[in-house]
Structure 1
Amino acid sequence: MVSERGGAVDIVGVSHGFDTGSILSVLDDVTISARPGEFVALLGPSGSGKSTLLRLVAGLDRPLVGEVYLDGAPIRGPHWTRGLVFQDPTLLPWRTVRQNVGLGPQARGRGAVDVDKIDAALELVGLADFGGVLPAQLSGGMAQRAALARALVNEPRVLLFDEPLGRLDSLTRRDLQGELLRLWRDRGFTALLVTHDVDEAIVLADRIVLLSPRPARVLEEVSVDFDRPRDPTDPRFVELRRAIFDVIDNSAVER
C-alpha cells in the first residue's frame, strides 16, 4: 500500500545505547526504511531494541550514531505527525474516554476546535457510546481502542505500535488485528509495528524486518506478498513462518 497521507520513514546507520557507567549497546548500525503508507513489522526477541527504535522514530530519544528521517527531514523531537500506541493503553484514570482522546488537540490548543475530530475518532474505533465513561469501566480491548483513538485524532502520517495487542486475550487480539488493518487502509498512515509474535507480523505487515538479539542488527527483510486476510493454515503462511524461524534460529546459532 502506498499513500500520500503516510510519511516516509528512514532509519539510517543508527547505533544506540544507554549509559550505565559504560555504554550498554542496544542498536548496532541499523538501517530500515518504510515507504509512505506501508505497514512494516519489526520482529525480534524481547529486549532486542525494538522499542528503542520506535522511541527514536517518535523523537523521544536521539540516536548516538546515525539519523532518523521523516519525509527526508531529520527527526529532532516529538511531533503530532507521529503517533505512538503502547502495550498499555496509558489512559489517565481521572479523565473520561473523550477527555483522554482529546489530550492531543488540547496540548496543541485545539481542544475546542477539534471536538468533531474527537467524536470522529471515537466513532472510528467503535467507542462512540463510551466517550463519557472512565477508563476503569472499559475492558482491556476497549481501553486499547481508546488509545488508538487518542493517536488517530491528530491525523498522524506515521503510527508507531509498541506491541499494542500483547496483553490481550487471543480472541480480542484477533479482533483488534482486524481493526488495525481497517484503520490503516482507511486512514493511509505509515505503520511501524513492534512485535515478537511471528504470526501477528505475517497477518498484519507488508514487510517484516527481522532483528537479532541485543544489540539489534537487521538480519533480513521479508516481503509478505500474498493478499489479506491471511490464514495461518495457508501453505504460503506456513512456509513463510518456517523461513522466518529458520533465520532466527540460525542467528542464535551464529551468536
Structure 2
Amino acid sequence: MVGAQAVDIVHVTQAFRSGGRDLPVLDDVTLSVGAGEFVALIGPSGSGKSTLIRLLAGLDRPLFGAVHVGGERVSGPHPSRALVFQDPTLLPWRTVRGNVAIGPQARGLPARDARHRVDESLELVGLADFADVWPAQLSGGMAQRAALARALVNDPSVLLLDEPLGKLDALTRRSLQQELHRLWRNRGFTAVLITHDVSEALVLADRVVVLSPRPARIQEVIEVGLDHPRDQSAGAFIALREHILGLLDEFAPA
C-alpha cells in the first residue's frame, strides 16, 4: 500500500508570539509519510502535535522549513487534505446531510453530483438513515461519524486526525477505531493521527512517532509491524506499548 511519499515535513521549526517574545513549539522536525501509510503522533500535552497537524492542513505556515504534500508545497488549505478535530464541530442549524455537503458546495459542484457524494459518504460511515437528523439528536459517536463523513466527502488523499476519538466512551471509541481502520483500508488515503492513547496508536498505525516536550523534536519512530486486527493482549503488542510508555515516562515532571 505504501509507495511514494505523500507527506514530507522538512526541518520545520515553529514558534508563536506570546507576551512580546517567541514561544518555540517545534524544533527542526523532519518526517516523511508514505502514500497510504497510517502514522500516529504521540507525546506530552502541549508538545506541538496539533501545531504540526495545522501545518499539514495549511492552516498555519512554519517559521522555518517546509511542508510538502503530494510533492506540492503546502501554502494553504486544500480539499485533498481533510482535518477531523476532537470535537465534531457540526453546524447546529444544518442537518447531517447539510453538514456533510459543505465541502462539495464550497467547491461549486453541481447539486446532483454533490448529493451523490454526500450520500456515498454517509453510507461509508453508516449514517445513511440519519441524513436528515439534526446534530443535537446525535450521540457522541454518531456526531464523530458525521464529522468523518464530512472529511471524506471530497475524497482526500490525506486525512488528518486531531484526537477525534478522545472524548468518546471506551466502547464507542473501540468501535470507531475499527471503523476508522476499515475506512483507511478501503479508501487508501494517508492518515496522520494525534492521540494520547498509546494502545490506540498501536491498534491503528503502521508507525508511531514519539515527540519530546515543547519545543518538540522527534524522540523516536517505532515501526509497529503487527498484522491486523491487532491483539492487545499479545506479547509483542504489550512490549511495544511498554516501550512507548517508558519513553513518555522520561518526559514526566520529576
Fold similarity call, TM over 0.5: yes
- Residue in 2 aligned with 1:83? 82
1:102-145 CA deviation, whole Å, 9 max, x = no partner? 00001011151221110000000000000001000000000000
1:68-112: CA deviations, max 9, x gaps? 001221100000000000000000000000000000001011151
SS in 1 for 2:133: coil
When structure 1 is superposed on structure 2, of 111-120 and 123-132 the one drifting more is 111-120
CA distance in structure 2 between the partners assigned to 1:3 and 1:131 by the alignment? 36
The corresponding residue for 2:118 is: 118
Query: Which residue number corresponds to residue 13 of structure 1?
Result: 11
Gaps of at least 5 residues in structure 2 are none
2:58 corresponds to: 59
Alignment partner, residue 44 of structure 1? 43
Tell me the equivalent position of 2:190.
190
Distance 1:68 1:82, change over 3 A: same
Q: 1:252, CA displacement in angstroms?
A: 4.8
How far does residue 45 in structure 1 lie from its aligned partner after superposition? 1.3
- Are residues 3 and 107 of structure 1, via their aligned partners in 2, closer, same or farther at CA, if it must alter by over 3 Å? farther
Kept in 1: contact 2:203–2:230 (CA 8 A): yes
Q: Report the alpha carbon displacement of residue 32 of structure 1 after superposing the two structures with TM.
A: 1.1
8 Å Cα contact 1:87-1:167 kept in structure 2 = yes
Q: What is the total number of aligned residue pairs between the two structures? A: 252
8 Å CA contact 1:102, 1:111 repeated in 2: no
State how far apart, in whole Å, the 2-side matches of 1:128 and 1:229 are.
26
Contact 2:44 2:251 in 1 (8 A): no
SS in 2 for 1:8: strand
1:147 is displaced (CA, Å) by 0.2
Q: Which residue of 1 aligns with 2:96?
A: 97
Tell me, what secondary structure is at the counterpart of 1:24? Answer: strand
On the 8 A contact 1:83/1:151 being kept in 2, the answer is: yes
Q: 2:217 and 2:161 mapped to 1: Cα distance?
A: 20
Q: CA RMSD of the aligned region, Å?
A: 1.4
SS in 2 for 1:114: helix
The percent identity for this pair of structures is 65
Cα distance, 1:232 vs. partner? Answer: 1.4
Specify every segment of 5 or more residues in structure 1 that has no aligned partner in the other structure, as ranges: none
Aligned letter for 1:16?
Answer: Q
Q: TM-score, normalised by structure 2?
A: 0.96
Whole-Å Cα distance in 2 between the matches of residues 30 and 217 of structure 1? 6
The 4+ residue runs of structure 1 with deviation greater than 3 A are 250-253
Q: What's the TM-score, normalizing by structure 1?
A: 0.96
* Distance of aligned partners of 1:101 and 1:215 in 2 relative to their CA distance in 1, 3 Å threshold: same
